[in-house]
Amino acid sequence: MDTAFLQNPYNGQALKWINQPKRKGVVDVHGTFFPYQDGYLNFLAGRRISGLNQKFQRFYDRTSRLARFLGHWLLRQLLPGDLGSDVQGAVRINPGDQVLEIAVGTGRNLKSLPADARYFGVDISGGMLEQCVRNARKWGLQLELCQASAEELPYRDNVFDSVFHFGGIHFFNDPEQAIREMIRVAKPGAPIVLVDNTLRALNARYRRNPLLRTYLRPTEVARPGFYAPREMVPGAMLDVELQFINEGELYRLSFVKPPGYG
């Protein structure tokens, strides 16, 4: 595990890799330890998660085994469209780039992206990360994974050439803080891309999908301030663009981190 990109997400301290018979993971100078398990670093071990983050962590942990067999179908119940083409249409990836996906899930998006880049993924669900580890091995992907929340990313400032998120930011506890974190870890000049359901699309899926109706309260779906969150992008960002794609079912919000920001 390469720790050059990592930091303790709660205090910003550098991390050192340790590999002992009963203690494998990373530790900071104060002795705070985060375990390496099943192919990913767990930055949520022993921490209390609340709100929608907790709800969706439990949801995806419970459905992760189904996702192994029904992954593409299950994702389409929550998010329409062709994952690969919509991400590729906005994320600029060059050979050798360091690319981060927020809420990586089973890793299906990365399968469609250029193989000559270095990929990193974060997800709040350990169950989904276990599926992602299996898929990465099956597909031959070089992928470094962490279990963490999008609001507290375990990476240093200015390390990624591209950062993207496909689906679900409106169900984060704090979408605006998640966007700030994406900007923090991106290099100056890096594109940052968010693709998600429009409110109209999710409301339609909620009405006709018993899975969503059972799991989500109507007030949790109808959070209009969290859809196409252009107002959450800091004014200093460059090339801010909001597009509605897939016949209006998805939005794609993209922007570039300017030099000297932060």
Question: What is the total count of domains within the chain?
Answer: 1
Q: Rounded to two decimals, what is the model's pTM?
A: 0.90
Give the pLDDT of residue 76.
53
9 inside domain: no
User: Taken in order 17, 22, 28, 33, is the CA torsion positive or negative?
Assistant: positive
CATH of the domain at 177: 3.40.50.150
205 inside domain: yes
11 inside domain: no
Give the pLDDT of residue 109.
85
166 inside domain: yes
Residue 117: which domain range? 39-256
What is the full per-residue pLDDT of the chain (262 aa) written as tens digits? 789 999 999 999 999 999 998 899 999 999 999 999 989 999 999 899 999 899 889 888 887 766 655 555 555 555 444 555 656 667 889 999 999 999 998 888 888 888 899 999 999 999 999 999 999 999 888 899 999 999 999 999 999 999 999 888 888 999 999 999 999 999 999 999 998 878 776 776 666 666 666 666 666 666 555 567 889 999 999 999 998 887 777 889 999 999 999 7
14 inside domain: no
